[in-house]
Amino acid sequence: MAKRTLHLPGLRNIKTVLAVLSCLLFYMLLEFFSGYLQGAVSNFAKTIYFILNRNEPLFACVAAIVAMQSTIEDSWERGTSRIIGTFIGGVLGLLLIYAGNAVTVADLSVIIIPIGVFIAIYISNIIGRSNAAAFAAINLVIILITTGKTTDPAHVLALNRTIDTAIGVLISMVVNFGIRRPKRPEKKTRQD
């Protein structure tokens, strides 16, 4: 019988958990501070309130998990792909929603969503960001399916998804940068 060994969690595992915890705590702080700006009058204060009034950490947590990689460079690449893909999917989702609203045929979503996924992947490939294609398609599908099922207009939903994703990626980057892998001592070579 083979002897089983207990594997301790790796540094990436720990950093991912810390990034998710940081997202959750950050959103709790935002909720606390946004209450102070709720009755804002000036346009600047209203803009700050919109940015700070984040009530759903789901997409930030998902972005933090996806962006956390073994190295800072890999995290940066994955995180920027996530943000670019989210932006592509958001803009394309808005365009398709507005185009769909102009057409009077009922329930075109069965046709519009697959066409949108095709376009999102195609645009990602054209701009040389094929690693953003899945994120673009996912965001597009989320926006097209959830629009009308929430009280937020489509453009607010798309903008919120992009902001939440950026927050999660940034938090993941800070955690990954702040907790570095310990340097291994250099091996001494014998010189004869």
Q: How many folded domains does the chain comprise? A: 1
Q: Is residue 3 part of a domain?
A: no
Q: Is residue 1 part of a domain?
A: no
Arithmetic mean of pLDDT, 54-77: 88
Residue 66: closest CA among 19, 105, 98: 19
pLDDT for position 106: 55
Handedness of CA 62, 66, 71, 74 (dihedral sign): negative
Reported as a pLDDT band with limits 50, 70 and 90, residue 161 is confident
Q: Is residue 186 part of a domain?
A: no
> pLDDT per residue over 42-51, tens digit each?
677 667 666 7
Reported as a pLDDT band with limits 50, 70 and 90, residue 182 is low
Q: Is residue 190 part of a domain?
A: no
Compute the distance between CA of residue 169 and CA of residue 48 in angstroms, rounded to an integer. Answer: 20
Q: Is residue 39 part of a domain?
A: yes
Q: Which residues contact 136 (CB under 8 A, 6 or more apart)?
A: 84, 85, 86, 88, 89, 92, 120, 121, 123, 124
> pLDDT per residue over 81-124, tens digit each?
989 999 999 999 888 887 776 554 556 678 888 999 999 999 99
Domain span including residue 76:
11-178
pLDDT for position 5: 83
